[in-house]
Structure 1
Amino acid sequence: MRRALLVGSNFSALPLLNALKKRGIEVSVCGNRPDEVCHKAADRSFFVDYSDAGQLAKLVREERFDFLVPTGNDCSYRVSARVAGQFGFAGFDNDRITEIIHTKGAFRQACLTAGLRIPGFDVVEGAGPAPDLPFPLIVKPVNSYSGQGVSKVENRKELEGALKKVFDQPGTEEAIVEEFFDGSLHSHSAFIRDRKIFLDFFVDEFCTVYPYQVNCSNHPSGLSGQIRNSIREQIERLAASLELGDGLLHTQFLVDAGGDFRIVEAMRRCPGDLFGSLVERSTGIDYADWFVRPFLGEEYPELAEKGECEFWARHTLSADMSQLNFSFTHDLPVSAQEIVALQSNGYALSAAPYGKTALLFMKFPDLEQLLLLTPVLAKRVKLKAVEEMK
């Protein structure tokens, strides 16, 4: 029997685990959190810290896996790619390209080289001078995720304070400072074959509880065809410039009221919080299956033309203050929904961006209501704390 190691064990990796199992592959999972769901669903579990490339390589060497599959965080992908290079696993770029894509400063420089539209930026080191860029600015730690540590600054004094806060964090030696671009946030998931887009999806995204953490999204997107085609042209230009291998390239970008745009982030890992499940509900296309194919050495299947989409939103339930969470309610006009519980009632919910209690998938009757209601889901879905229950 063929054997795969899935590098990561949380709930967002479950569709990937199931995509492997559907092929009759024996699936092992590694991660140092025994309570996470993939350990319970896997054929075998290895409780190792996969952020340590030496530990992961040792496990791969001893177990002789046929496939290595990353999951939904940068650490999983970057360390897996490093180990894959040692053992010849399929589906990964080389170490240099992997680090470019997943390192904020290097990615932005690669975008400039390829002629992509990105905000003006500078990379600041702890002892280095503050950049000379027009305000307002966005300050991002190079190791930021889920919007943690990101801030908007309006003047030199605020910039100095934001940089000091970044460099006070242990292990943070660099920050990205970039021009603030006032636009709506969107993502583009493109499955690349021969450096061309073979299949792609556009999703609208919203950060309505914590300023730089996505908590609401919808598919299909309300973007115009012109903007979609412009983004596609940019992504294919990047794929050619970096000589990317086949697989997912997921990007985030901003679009202003006049239709101008800027690309801000990219990844080759699977997006988290069951992003693919949103796409699958809307389109019927198995996103997880497409993600794992390159790591198994499989070709992408030929597709008929995309059918009509259904109108689905995804909402990550979080709060702007800590509380003992008990339940939630909503009054939305949905025809179907699914709740993915991430906490039991009565457990402490940390304030965003550190805590989330559930994911809610909701089907709306038409595109108009989907686009109208997704941005306000956090107001229409009411979390109830323990002390509020009667």
Structure 2
Amino acid sequence: MTRALILGTLPGQVDAIDALKQRGLEVHACGHQRVGPGVTAADRFWEVDITDVSAVRDLAESIDAQLVYSVGSDIAMPTVVGVSEALGLPHFHSSELTEVLRSKTLTRERLDAASLSPVAHLRVGPADDANDWAVFPAFVKPVDSQGQRGISVVSDRAQLQAALAEARSATRSGEVIVEEVLQGPEVSIHVFVDDGEVRFFLPSDRYVWDGPMVGVAESHAIPLAPATQGAHDSLRELVAQCVAALGVTDGPLYFQTIVTSDGPRIIEIASRLDGCHMWRLIKMTTGFDFLDAVLGRLLGDPWPDIPEEPAAEPMTLRFFLDSPDVLATDEYLAATATPDALFVDLQVPRGERPRRTNDVVARFGYEIYRGF
């Protein structure tokens, strides 16, 4: 039987675990602790840190895994690629490209070298300050974290030092990037590259939570609304230019962009699938199972013969965001979910509180409904 090893056990990984099991694979999962729904969703769980390349490689060899993968996790991707390269397993992007896209500063440098998506920014080393920075307001971000951890918006120089300290607390390397705050609506783009050509391109509007944490996604909507539809062709051209400049030959990419008055600008490019269950929204709006197609490509299937951008029925994916001190109950879900939602998933066990990653907000689950 073909065996797969999924790195991580949070809800996004359950999607991949379930999809692989539906294909008849035996699916193992690992994580540094026995936490998350993937622990029981997998056929077997192993307590192995997903950032420990040697340990994950040893585990993959011991279970004779023919596939090592992860979705929605930037920190897992270097391990995915490193283990897959070492064991001769199928994978999409090289270690070099994975490292470039995992680092916000390296991504900016590659885009600058290709004269793409100009954004004012400054790399700040572990022992450096940002006294030369003069563009405000500005984002201060860790270069290698995920989940909006350690990100601040500063309005003047007096706030920089505290923001640098917060960003450094969320990064392994101690390196921070300062960027100008871009103004405009956000658009995320799912892309699949096959033999150097963009074979799938689907943009979606990304709406941010109106709360004290910066950049937390509250909802996604497909297709683009009138406010961003006019940027469609520019976004498509920018994606194609980035694919060429980065030398991407095969695999998924997840772009986050802002449509400014000067054109679209890239916030980040991820060498993975998103962590927001967007594959389900894509499937419900277009009928195309993006997650299964990506996994199938790893398993040797050809890319499906579908339109590059399938027609989409208007739908929205909305997260249930609340205080991490709130209990997940049926009553909570009844009061929170849209009455005519097409799909609802409360991802916190009934009677429990969500996994705490900060003291402000937690994701309890999500829903999908028609319209915007």
Same fold flag (TM > 0.5) = yes
* Alignment partners' CA distance in 2, 1:230 and 1:103: 25
Q: Per-residue CA shift, 1:2-59, capped at 9, x if unaligned?
A: 2222222222122322332333322222224435333323333323222211110111
Of 295, 298, 303, the match for 2:298: 295
Aligned residues: 364
1:305 Cα deviation (Å)?
7.6
Aligned to 1:356: 363
1:4-19 equivalences in 2 (<5 Å):
4-19=4-19
Report what 2:48 is aligned to: 48
Mark the runs of 5 or more structure 2 residues left unpaired by the alignment: none
Deviation at 1:232, TM superposition (A): 1.9
- SS class of match (1:215): strand
Give 1:352 shift.
6.5
Paired position in structure 2 for 1:254? 258
In the TM superposition, what is the alpha-carbon distance from 1:285 to its structure 2 partner?
0.6
Partner of 1:227: 231
Matches within 5 A, 1:1-390: 1-130=1-130, 131-167=132-168, 171-208=172-209, 209=211, 210-222=213-225, 224=228, 226-256=230-260, 258=261, 260-303=263-306, 308-319=311-322, 322-326=325-329, 327-329=332-334, 335-349=340-354, 350=356, 355-364=362-371, 370=372
Mark the CA change 1:50 to 1:318 in structure 2 (over 3 Å): closer, same or farther.
same
Q: Distance in 2 between matches of 1:353 and 1:229?
A: 38
Greater Cα offset, 336-345 or 200-209: 336-345
Aligned pair in 2 of structure 1 residues 170, 42: CA closer, same or farther (>3 Å)? closer
Q: Secondary structure at the match of 1:5?
A: strand
Structure 1 residue matching 2:123: 3-state secondary structure: strand
The residue type equivalent to 1:356 in the other structure is: R
Kept after mapping to 2: 8 A contact 1:318/1:352: no
User: Bigger CA drift: 5-14 or 269-278?
Assistant: 5-14
Contact 2:142 2:170 in 1 (8 A): no
CA distance in 1, matches of 2:353, 2:61: 40
- In the alignment, the residues of structure 2 paired with residue 318 and residue 333 of structure 1 have an alpha-carbon distance, to the nearest angstrom, of 14
Contact 2:346 2:366 in 1 (8 A): yes
Aligned-residue CA RMSD (Å): 2.5
- Measured against aligned partners, the alpha-carbon deviations of 1:146-181 in whole angstroms (never above 9, x if no partner) come to 222211111111122312333355745111101111
**TM-score for the superposition, normalised by structure 1:** 0.85
Instruction: Give the aligned residue type for 1:196.
Output: E
How many Å apart are 1:113 and its aligned residue? 1.6
The 1:102–1:157 alpha-carbon spacing in structure 2 relative to 1, beyond 3 Å, is same
The one-letter code matched in structure 2 to 1:343 is: V
TM-score (norm 2): 0.89
